[in-house]
Structures are given as structure tokens and as C-alpha cells.
Structure 1
Amino acid sequence: MLQRDPPRLTLPSRIRAGLAHPALVVGFVGAMVGFAGSWIPSYWGDEAASILSTSRSWPSLGALLGQIDGVHGLYYALLKLWTALFGTSEAATRLPSAIAVGLMAGGTVVLARRFVGTRIAVIAGTVCAILPRSTCMAAEARSYAIGAAIAVWITVLFTRLVTRDASRRQWLLYGIACAGAMYLFLYLGLMLVVHGVVAAILYRESLARWMLTAGGATLLAVPIILVASLQRQQIGFLARRHYATPANVLTRQWFGYPVLAVVAWLLILATVVWLVLAVMGRLPRGARLQATVFSLVWLFIPTAALLIGNALLSPMYNVRYLSFCVPAAALVMALGVAAIGELAAPHRRLAISTALTAALVAASVPVYLGQRTPWAKDGGSDWRAVAEYVQQHAHDGAVLFDQTTKPSRAPRIVLDLYPAAFASVDDVALQTPLAERAGLWDAVAPNADATSRMRGTSEAWAVEAAQGTTVPPDVALLTQLGFQVDSAVLIHRTTVYHLSRK
């Protein structure tokens, strides 16, 4: 018997099929948007720590984590396995973060649909995918995007536990997931606090089980908490940066720049007003009220905790550390879009919601494009371009690197990230390669001592962070040894000097 070919889906039927699985559609688009152009910017200091950890042997990585970056150990191990398969290019190492942003956006849709309709859920997922904090962490080889994805999915699990007659096994799974999240990024432990506050407000019948599970999760996380305490000096730099400013909290933390921040906070205000009216009985209550309370608690509690801790205990605030609250910001904004739309006649609400969402997307585009330029990272990191220039022009001689910068901006990191580019020159200052020591970076001799190894060298290169007319100390040192500057090429914020002597 002849079999009929399956009917071909028309465009309208494909759209309907996509609407039946909105989380998949939003998640896929979010991952693609996050990955597009992610390979364009050069690596910067934090990413260098990630990438160079993958070049170590497992014993070397273990020795490193015993001294510093222990809280990032799980991510480094996962990235090491990933790069063994896919390499260490910018595209390869940032791809997991882009995938995670897709999972975060899709998870936001799943979470929102548990409380509100598909329309608000899709708006929330879309906003989640395009907020500048999301598109930034999608293009970064760090753990923040993966942590944000985990935050939303353990929240999905939590909502299922408190809205159903969950078994002990399900609560155990939740506890293990929360503990595991803290091993990836310690501040994800604040999600336990968020869930506890929500349980106390909305799901008091589940509060006792949550307390028992949270206690167990905390016990499981004690080792990583101890590691963080013992290595707390590694975030001591926060005391010198003064990150806890209104501009950072209100703008850079999630929204990137003032125009989008103003729109976002107006939508958040609309959600707060809706909540007040609902509590007063002026608006109908229901699952949407639960979503509003949940998302506002998630939005504000972690930020408040870090700001209070930063002020009273020790430096702990950084805008990136609250990336896991992006889904909450997106959901609150989506609820604000819905609240504003409800001020209009019913037949106009869809159009208003669509227009507001499109405006948010449009407002995010300038930041998105700016994040995908060659100098987008860390105020203009140009390391890949420096490596390309050196590889094209340096075929002999010795190389010195600026030693006056902070470690995470040291130009010699370029050599470790792109060793092939420096294969033709001698690294005269190197004492101990990073792979052979329990530290993030190479151990080097002062350049004043390293030049003693250049007695038979007639050609030298100096890679300097210094710009302008001031002669860098390394260049001055080389000229005292008889070298003359043949060229000085400013890449972006790094200058490569070529010197020679007869």
C-alpha cells in the first residue's frame, strides 16, 4: 500500500506550532542572539583566568584552586572538558554561555507560564534574552550565564514543589540542586533566601519543608563556603573599586545605559503600583499576584543583601554578581507591560504590549551592538589584535612586557593566551610558567634583571599598556642598553614597540 507523504506545514501552521512550545522558540532565539558576534571582542582579564585554567594539567588546576579561585573550580573543570573537545577560540569558549542564556530565557517562559498567560510569559522571556546584562554574559567565558540559567530552573522546580503535594525525593533533588548551584557560583545561595521569603509569604504550608531542605543544602555547601572564606582576599580589590554606586545598581547592573534603565524602572514601578492596588482589593487577585510577589522578592532581596553586606561586613558587590536576577527583572518588566496595556481597551492591549516589547528590544540594540565590537571588553581590551600584530611582524629577538599594570591587565597575558604569536621571540623575563605554579599568572623576573639575558640580542619588542608621549620604563631601559626605537604602533590601548641595535 502506498503511504502518503506527511502534509507540509504552511507558514501559519509553523507559527502555531511554535506558539505551542514558546519556551523552546524563545530559548533558541535567545541563544542565537547571544552567540551572534560573541567571538568579535578580544579576551580580557577575567576570561583569561578561565581560559588559562584549561591549559593546565588536572594536578596543576587542583593546586591553583587550593590557593585561589576555588569558588570557580567547578566552572574551570567543566570548561577544561569543553575546550578539550572544541578548542580555546573566543567562539568556542563563549558558546556555553550563549547556550545558557537561551536556557535562561526559555526557563523564564516556563516559570512565567505557571502563573500568567503565554503572552506575558513570552514577553518576559524575550526581555530576559535581550537585556544588556544577558547579551553581555552570553559573550563571556565566565560562569555567570550558566548560574543565571540554573537560578531560573531551580526556581521552576521550587514552584512545582510548593504548588503540588511533592514527595521527599523531589525536595531532596531541589536541595541537591541548590547546593550544586553554590559550587558553581556561591552567590546562588541567595536563591535559597529568595525561595524562603516567597514560601513565608505565599506558601506557608511548605515553609517547614523548605527550611529542612535549605538546611541540608547549606550543609552540603559547607566545603565551598569554607573555601570562599579562606580565599576571601581574592575579592579584596572590590574595596578599592567602589562599585556600589547608584549608577551601577540602577543602570549597569541589568540595563546597560540610562535610556533603557529609565524605561525598565518605569515598568517595574507599574508592576509595584499594580501590586499595591491588588493588595488593596482594587484589582482581582490570583496567580498573577503570586508571580508579582515572587519576581519582586527575587529582584530586590539579593541586591539588598549584597549592598548591606558590602557596607557592613566586607566588599562583596559587583554588578556581574547579580546576573542571576536577570530573569526576575525581565518578569517584573513583563508584568509592567501587561499592567500598562490593561489601561487601554481590551482590543488594543495586544498591540500596546507588542509595541512596548518592541521598544525594549530597540532600546537594547545599541548596547548589544557595542558589546560585539573588537574593543568591547574591559574598557578596550585589544589582546587578540596585539597577538596578530606580533605574529605578523616579530620574527626574531626578545620581548618584554609592561610590568606596571594590575595583574589582570598585564600585557604578558597575551603571550599565554596566544602562544603561537610569540613563537619567534624570546620571553626573557619568564621564571616559572603558570602551569608549574599555584598561581593564576606566570612568575617573572623584573625587566631590569631580565635584560641581562639580552646581551647577544640585536632586536627587541616591548608590549606596553602605556600610551601617549611618555616613554615607558621598559623602552627607556632598552634605549640605555643601546637600542633605538624603530616603530611604536598603538593597537588600541596597548602599544607595541620595535627596537634594534647594531
Structure 2
Amino acid sequence: MTEAGSATVESLSGDRPSRRPLEIFAAIFVAAGSIYFFHLGTDSLGASEAYSAWAAAKPGVGAIVRTPVLHDPGKQVFYYVVLHYYTRILGLSEISLRSMSAIFSLATLMLVFALGCEMFDESTALAAAAMWAFNPLAVVFAHTARMYSMLIAIALAHLLTLLRVRSRPGIMGGIGCGILGAAMLYTHMAGLLILGAEAAILLRDLARGRRDSVAWMAIVLAIALFLPYLPVAIRQSQDLIYGHWLDYLGPPYNYPLAGKLAAGLVAAGVTSWLVFGRAVERDGNEPLRVLVAWIGLPALAFAVGSVILRPMFNPRYLSPGIAAAALLIAGSIGAWSTKWRNLLAAGFALACLIMLPFARTEPPPWRDLAGQVTAGGASEPVFFESGYVSNGNTADVSNGGFPFGYYSVPFNYYFKGANSRIAIPGFDAAAARMTIEERVSEAGGGWLVSWKDRDEVNSELPDANRFRVVETYRQPHLAIYRITPAVK
């Protein structure tokens, strides 16, 4: 074929987009949906999932808003509110609670494809979707009744609308982008770092003579809509820093000042290069640099914050960037070789499918524990440690966290019996031990559900000469003990 004829064919195919990528994406979408909705009710809820059910079961929005403020700081309210109305229709079963996450995970898959089309082309979008669809992390988020699948979907939708108003400004698009940005903040505080990364992207545009007025308006609108909740978020942050170490904030590493300064300088250098560095892409919109900034700057902030302040790096809080990384990988390799991009996407998807059966973790014990307590009799109390779930030498710090006991919520989801649930102070081992010994002696038996490791929990276990203590379950941050009076 002559060069002119080849150019004509390419021109015609460009005018009429191929349906093949869409057809392949539809097949991937159906396969992913089958996996995301598979066995949603098999395992009992984890502790955090039970808190989602507990918050969703509240009578109204006001009570839902008070839940993270009083009992579970650091958790934003939008997910709980949406889940509340969703479960009013479908109920509070494991399948109902987790199915909303599966729906948002499918929405994420569509958004990955849409972002790929917006930033690159349909073939790159298809490769990115294939790499994300069967990723074990994507499946875990789809199977977990937590806010992370919603956070990913909203964050990617916000990025998509921001890119569109950046290239095709429109007031309605800017308003929609701002609302999505606020929804992201109300879903998880990590959204603040994403907004910061987007501001850095727009600042680069400004430095290169591109004003992006509507995009800036969207960022400002998102922050303005979040301002009414800011005092609550500040109070939550104080609780997180001084007590709530279950998720990510732990005791400081006490790095030397020189190390902290070096980390700060590295972060400043990387950020400056992303904002003011020389352009290396032919596309004036710089999609690869945009993705590097959107993914990398929040991760960098968490990493540097862990060095300067306290440990705070957790992959869950970077979940939107992990999903967007599929776009970065597909776009980067596609710029070098479309053949290798397609082979990598297909191979990675196949490897993920092979790994999925082996990626299943041990199910939480709450359903089994409820059956064991029932068999033990209605007179036996169940003890739960109050206070924040903490690590290392922080367990003896007096605080008012989780006054009813952190693990009482997942236990109560499955156990409806009359057994007394007794909160003992997790930060006062002597008082906890005295209460356990007294109540177990009266009832003839009991159960302790602890978030402490073996060394920490020993000081609150009853006297081994007068009581028999059997550890029936042990996982990180969770142990269950059967306690009975010793036979004389």
C-alpha cells in the first residue's frame, strides 16, 4: 500500500473510533463485576466494617455525624451517610454492606477507562483498566464495607472533571468538579493531599502562562464547602495524634534533626521540579507529569510526615493514587512501545487472576466467637478494653477513646444474647484485672477480647493460681481469651 493510501486509512479510522476497545472493556467490566460480587457474605465483618454497619444503622444524619466525632475519630461522614440510605433499602447484612463497595469499585473501573481516554487514547485506557480490574487491592476494596472504594471513585471522578475544565472551561463543569472535591474531603481526610497535588498541577500551568480560572474556582469551591466541617476535623486530628494509633499514627521515630531537614529538602526539591521543571512530553497537557504529581505528591507528604512528625504512611490512604498508577504505567510504556504495553497489561491481568485464590486472608472471628459465647451460657460476661487501640508503650496512657470497648461493636453485630458486655480500662491493667477476677468468679466463666499483644495483656489477666486462662484466638491487634475459675 502506498503512503498516501495508508494515511487515508489512518484518517478514516481516526474519524470513526474502533469499537474493539469498548467491546474488550465491556468484557473486562463484566468479569470484574463477577469477581467483585462473589461471596460478599461468606466471611464475617471485620471490626472496621462493623463500625460502618453501626454508623449506617443510626436513626438519622445527625447521629451519623456524631459517630466519628465521639467514637471513631478520623473517619469522615459522607460514606456513612450514603451507606445509611443504601442499607435502609437493602438491609444491614454482610452482602448489603459490602455490595455498595463493589458498586463503587465498578464505577472506579469505568473512571480509569474514561481517564485513559481523556489523557491518552482508547488503547491506553483499555490497558490501564485491564491492569486495575483484577488487581488484588481492587478486589479487597470491593469486598470491604469501608469508604475506600468510594474514595477512589470520587477522587478519580474529581480528577476527570478537573482535567476537562482545565482543557475545556465551563462554569457548570467547574461547579461539579468543586462538589466532587468536597465529597472527596468528606469521605476521607487524605483528600486534602490530593487537592494539594492538584493545586501544584494548576500552579505549573500558571507558571507556563495558562490561567485555568475555572479549575482554580473548583478547588476553592471544594475547600469552601468543607469549611463548615473543619472544626470537627481539627478535633479529630487532635484525637488521632494523641491517642488513636490503630490505623497509622504511632509514636514518633525521633529521627535526628538533620534527617528531618533532609527529608523536608528532598520533598521541596521534588515538588519544585514537578511544578517548575522543564517539560519533557510532546503533549502540552503533560498527562504523565500530571499523573506523577497526582500520585506522588500525596505519597511524598505521608512519607515526609512520617519522618518529621509521626508514622502515618498506609497504602489505604493512597488508594486513589494506586488506582491511577495503572494509567501512569500504561501511558509511560505506551509512549515507548504499544506492543509491550499491551503484553504487560494482558500478562499482569492474567497474573492477578491466578493470584486471587491465594490472596484470601483469614476471616475475622466474630461469628465463631458469638457461637462460642452462646454455648458457654448467658451468665458469662464478655470483657472489652476501652481506650484507643495503641501500640508499644502507649497502652497505659489514660484516655476516653472507645468507652464501650473497640471490639464490642463487631461482637454485637453477631451476638444478640443477654450476656453482660463489660468495658474495662485498657490503660489501667490493675483495675481491669480486678474487674475480670470479680465478675468471672461470680459467673463461673467469661471471655476477654483484647487489642493488646501478649506482653501487654499479661498484666491484666487474672491470677493463674486461681483462674484458668486459654488463648483461643490471636491475630495482630486482636486476641480472645476464655477465662474460668481454676478447679481445686
Same topology, TM > 0.5: yes
What amino acid maps onto 2:149 in structure 1? A
1:101 aligns with 2:89: no
The alpha-carbon distance between structure 1 residues 405 and 18, as it changes in their structure 2 partners (threshold 3 A), is farther
SS in 2 for 1:401: strand
2:38 is matched with: 36
Distance (whole Å) between structure 2 residues aligned to residue 189 and residue 70 of structure 1: 13
Unpaired stretches in structure 1, ≥5 consecutive residues: 1-15, 246-275, 343-348, 376-380, 433-444
Structure 1 residue 169 displacement after superposition: 2.8
Distance (whole Å) between structure 2 residues aligned to residue 312 and residue 124 of structure 1: 35
1:10 is matched with: none
**TM-score scaled by structure 1?**
0.70
Asked whether the equivalents of residues 123 and 334 of structure 1 are also in contact (C-alpha less than 8 Å), the reply is: yes
2:348 is matched with: 360
Distance (whole Å) between structure 1 residues aligned to residue 149 and residue 289 of structure 2: 24
1:217 is matched with: 222
Asked whether the equivalents of residues 380 and 440 of structure 2 are also in contact (C-alpha less than 8 Å), the reply is: yes
Distance (whole Å) between structure 2 residues aligned to residue 399 and residue 370 of structure 1: 37
Distance (whole Å) between structure 1 residues aligned to residue 252 and residue 335 of structure 2: 36
Asked whether the equivalents of residues 45 and 408 of structure 1 are also in contact (C-alpha less than 8 Å), the reply is: no
Distance (whole Å) between structure 2 residues aligned to residue 122 and residue 448 of structure 1: 62
SS in 2 for 1:121: helix
Structure 1 residue 17 displacement after superposition: 6.5
Asked whether the equivalents of residues 244 and 307 of structure 1 are also in contact (C-alpha less than 8 Å), the reply is: no
Asked whether the equivalents of residues 288 and 332 of structure 2 are also in contact (C-alpha less than 8 Å), the reply is: no
Structure 1 residue 298 displacement after superposition: 1.6
Asked whether the equivalents of residues 41 and 372 of structure 1 are also in contact (C-alpha less than 8 Å), the reply is: no
Structure 1 residue 99 displacement after superposition: 1.5
Matches for 1:477-488 after TM superposition, within 5 Å: 477=463, 480=466
Structure 1 residue 319 displacement after superposition: 2.0
Distance (whole Å) between structure 2 residues aligned to residue 195 and residue 420 of structure 1: 40
1:150 aligns with 2:154: yes
The alpha-carbon distance between structure 1 residues 407 and 464, as it changes in their structure 2 partners (threshold 3 A), is closer
The alpha-carbon distance between structure 1 residues 405 and 360, as it changes in their structure 2 partners (threshold 3 A), is farther
**TM-score scaled by structure 2?**
0.72
Asked whether the equivalents of residues 397 and 457 of structure 1 are also in contact (C-alpha less than 8 Å), the reply is: yes
SS in 1 for 2:190: helix
The range that moved more, 395-404 or 113-122, is 395-404
Distance (whole Å) between structure 2 residues aligned to residue 178 and residue 20 of structure 1: 28
Deviations 1:385-404 (A, max 9, x none): 3234334x223431233639
Structure 1 residue 27 displacement after superposition: 4.1
What amino acid maps onto 1:476 in structure 2? P
- RMSD over aligned CA atoms reads 4.1
What amino acid maps onto 1:181 in structure 2? M
Structure 1 residue 297 displacement after superposition: 2.0
Please point out which of 289, 301, 307 is paired with 1:305.
301
2:372 is matched with: 389
Deviations 1:183-240 (A, max 9, x none): 1222223333333333444585342333333223322221233322222133322442
1:194 aligns with 2:197: yes
Unpaired stretches in structure 2, ≥5 consecutive residues: 1-17, 256-276, 392-401, 426-430
What amino acid maps onto 1:156 in structure 2? L
2:435 is matched with: 449
Distance (whole Å) between structure 2 residues aligned to residue 147 and residue 182 of structure 1: 9
Matches for 1:127-166 after TM superposition, within 5 Å: 127-164=131-168, 166=169
Matches for 1:74-473 after TM superposition, within 5 Å: 74-164=78-168, 166-201=169-204, 204-236=209-241, 237=245, 238-240=248-250, 279=280, 285-286=282-283, 290-312=286-308, 316-339=312-335, 341-342=337-338, 349=339, 352-365=340-353, 368-375=356-363, 381-391=364-374, 393-401=375-383, 403=385, 407=389, 415-419=408-412, 422-424=415-417, 426-427=419-420, 429=422, 446=432, 448-449=434-435, 452=438, 457-463=443-449
Asked whether the equivalents of residues 466 and 472 of structure 1 are also in contact (C-alpha less than 8 Å), the reply is: no
The alpha-carbon distance between structure 1 residues 186 and 57, as it changes in their structure 2 partners (threshold 3 A), is same
**How many pairs are equivalent?**
422
The alpha-carbon distance between structure 1 residues 172 and 413, as it changes in their structure 2 partners (threshold 3 A), is closer
1:20 aligns with 2:26: no
Structure 1 residue 152 displacement after superposition: 1.2
Distance (whole Å) between structure 1 residues aligned to residue 51 and residue 322 of structure 2: 24
Distance (whole Å) between structure 1 residues aligned to residue 421 and residue 143 of structure 2: 34
SS in 2 for 1:369: helix
Structure 1 residue 148 displacement after superposition: 0.9
The alpha-carbon distance between structure 1 residues 244 and 186, as it changes in their structure 2 partners (threshold 3 A), is farther
1:13 is matched with: none
Asked whether the equivalents of residues 243 and 319 of structure 1 are also in contact (C-alpha less than 8 Å), the reply is: no
Deviations 1:119-170 (A, max 9, x none): 2111111212233432232222221111111111122212221222x33232
Distance (whole Å) between structure 1 residues aligned to residue 368 and residue 220 of structure 2: 50
Structure 1 residue 333 displacement after superposition: 1.2
